């Protein structure tokens, strides 16, 4: 009776799979998590954080005008700079993702999530209103931000929808 045993090192394949997953969940322009990555993380954050988090949905006001008047290349430069500023304004415990063209989601944590979210939102509005330079041009953006807090029964997609709706309401009312 003969026995044959074969071993195969799968660590390299696993590393490639992890790298592909990271790439599929990262925004190549800003280096932030993308919508796919955010939607994968949100359920676990909701389960772990429970009532101690808030979701901010941020839209850069005036970004479309920059793309229209200065071109998409300039828009990309501005978007990278704006994303970097937003990320620097965040607290260590918060999570930011680029979920669309000029839209970002921010998960804010803390014992008083509504107060923390308002404080972070105020800081983000201030950061967004600071002039941005590219080439010889200077532009100023604004921000419309919606805030949603889980009610204990909130599904991730419900929380996202409520934050998105609050952002559009803020936008209709002239931004934050």
Give CATH for domain 31-172: 3.30.70.270
Going from N- to C-terminal start, the domains of the chain cover 31-172
Whether 111 sits among the annotated catalytic residues: the reply is: no
pTM metric for this prediction = 0.86
Lowest-confidence pick of 44-48, 70-74, 170-174:
44-48
Distance CA 167, CA 145 (A): 5
Inform me whether the pLDDT recorded for 55 exceeds 90. Answer: yes
pLDDT score of 77: 93
Q: What does the pLDDT look like over 107-156, one tens digit per residue? A: 998 888 889 999 999 999 999 999 998 888 889 999 999 999 988 767 89
Asked whether the beta carbons of 67 and 141 are under 8 A apart, the reply is no
pLDDT score of 19: 62
Selection from 17, 52, 55 nearest residue 39 by Cα: 55
pLDDT score of 125: 95
Distance CA 4, CA 6 (A): 7
List 27, 94, 102, 164, catalytic entry: 102
- pLDDT confidence band for 164 (50 / 70 / 90): very high
């Amino acid at each position: 009776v003969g026995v044959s045993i074969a071993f195969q090192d799968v660590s390299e394949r696993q590393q490639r799979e992890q790298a592909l997953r990271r790439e599929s969940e990262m925004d190549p322009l800003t280096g932030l998590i993308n919508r796919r990555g955010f939607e994968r993380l949100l359920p676990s954050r909701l389960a772990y954080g429970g009532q101690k988090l808030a979701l901010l949905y941020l839209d850069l006001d005036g970004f479309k005008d920059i793309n229209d008047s200065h071109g998409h290349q300039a828009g990309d430069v501005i978007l990278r700079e704006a994303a970097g500023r937003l990320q620097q304004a965040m607290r260590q415990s918060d999570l930011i993702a680029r979920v669309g063209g000029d839209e970002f989601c921010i998960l804010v944590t803390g014992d008083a999530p509504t107060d923390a979210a308002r404080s972070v939102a105020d800081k983000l509005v201030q950061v967004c209103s600071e002039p941005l330079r590219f080439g010889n041009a200077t532009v100023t953006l604004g921000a419309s931000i919606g805030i949603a807090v889980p009610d204990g029964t909130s599904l991730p997609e419900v929380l996202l929808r409520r934050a998105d709706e609050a952002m559009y309401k803020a936008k209709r009312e002239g931004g934050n």
